Amino acid sequence: MDGLYRLPLNAPLPLDALATALRSRAEALGFAPVGLAAVPGGPRLPLRTAALERWLAAGHQGGMAWMNDPRRRRIEALLPGVRSVLAVGWNYHVAVRPAPGSLRVARYGWGRDYHRVIDGRLRQLGRWLEQAAPGSSWRACVDSAPLLDKAWAEEAGLGWIGKNGNLIHRRRGSWLLLGHLLTSLPLPPDRPAEPLCGACSACLEACPTGAIVEPFVVDARRCIAYHTIENRDAELPAPIRAQLSGWVAGCDICQEVCPWNRQPLPASTEPDVQPRPWLLDLRGAEALGWSDAAWDERLRASALRRIRPWMWRRNLRAAMAGGWGNAWTDP
């Protein structure tokens, strides 16, 4: 036995029993937390869509033109006839720390490309659902799909959207990557999560570049993560270079200071999230000598492959100029 919930496929279950079986199957595939939302959702969903519109109108997306995809405002465009959304969390918190003095890489990129991992397991779940409920349709979505993923995860009860823009679970913090399975089945939903940030402003105060311009609003144009991953310019902007603090691929500062992440958290033992050793001890002088082929090998099946070798070198030089990861002097 593989420990997965099995259905008598010749005897379809009532929708509430099918929902229970679907959650059980998702948990057996390594997802937690897991929740269901009904489409079109409750009164908070239109507010989240309106917030997206304001964010886009203000230009906070920077060069991320794909954030303006109109399908992001209409979930029906992703799956005609969608009635329910299964939202799942993928824990990427691991019980290891980078070596002292090493350059810094966001935790989400330490292991295998989460897009592949989450998508593959959601597709397993979708195929199982197709067998369990013949005639139903489904679609698997990770954060590369034009979906209001955090809003739907909030609607499904996985956690609330915090002031730093991340989804926060009261016992797992925000070290969660999200996936969604859209389905045409009208499954009974879970209760939406309630926000628990309260008066805390730790993330706003800690952001060195002031990217969290107000609670719940992140301006990508000021964000270290955006510039080290998405910015294709030859040089980083001077205000970003001056505040890198050793970050060369993403940034976790607003998560590291969050009180919900400073409690004891469950650490994942999943092989796919375990760190590649070189990311925990990244030294600038050594990494600057790596060829494009060497970078390609190190980044194989990594979400950080989005950062091209020349961008790594740009980021490394900028961080080292600030005194991190070996002193850098231009030859």
Taking residues 59-71, what's their average pLDDT?
96
| Residue with token string 């990217």 | 211
Taking residues 308-318, what's their average pLDDT?
98
Q: Could you tell me what percent of the chain has a pLDDT over 90? A: 93
Give 136-149 pLDDT, tens digit per residue: 999 999 999 999 99
pLDDT at 326: 59
Taking residues 277-292, what's their average pLDDT?
97
Least confident of 1-5, 310-314, 322-326: 1-5
Q: Which residue has the higher pLDDT, 173 or 330?
A: 173
Taking residues 224-239, what's their average pLDDT?
98
Q: pTM for the whole thing?
A: 0.92
Asked whether the predicted pLDDT for residue 45 surpasses 60, the reply is yes
Taking residues 71-82, what's their average pLDDT?
96
Whether 292 is a known active-site residue: answer no
Taking residues 7-35, what's their average pLDDT?
87
pLDDT at 329: 35
Three-state SS letters, the chain: CCCCCCCCCCCCCCHHHHHHHHHHHHHHCCCCCEEEEECCCCCHHHHHHHHHHHHHHCCCCCCCHHHHCHHHHCHHHCCCCCCEEEEEEEECCCCCCCCCCCEEECHHHCCCCHHHHHHHHHHHHHHHHHHHCCCCCEEEECCCCCCCHHHHHHHCCCCEECCCCCEEECCCECCEEEEEEEECCCCCCCCCCCCCCCCCCHHHHHCCCCCEEECCEECHHHCHHHHHHCCCCCCCCHHHHCCCCCEEECCCHHHHCCHHHCCCCCCCCCHHHCCCHHHHCECHHHHCCCCHHHHHHHCCCCHHHHCCHHHHHHHHHHHHHCCCCCCCCCC
Q: Which of 16, 143, 219, 330 is catalytic?
A: 143
Angle made by CA atoms 114, 115, 116, in degrees to the nearest 5: 90
Taking residues 1-11, what's their average pLDDT?
43
Taking residues 231-242, what's their average pLDDT?
97
pLDDT at 8: 45
pLDDT at 1: 30
Q: Which residue has the higher pLDDT, 149 or 327?
A: 149
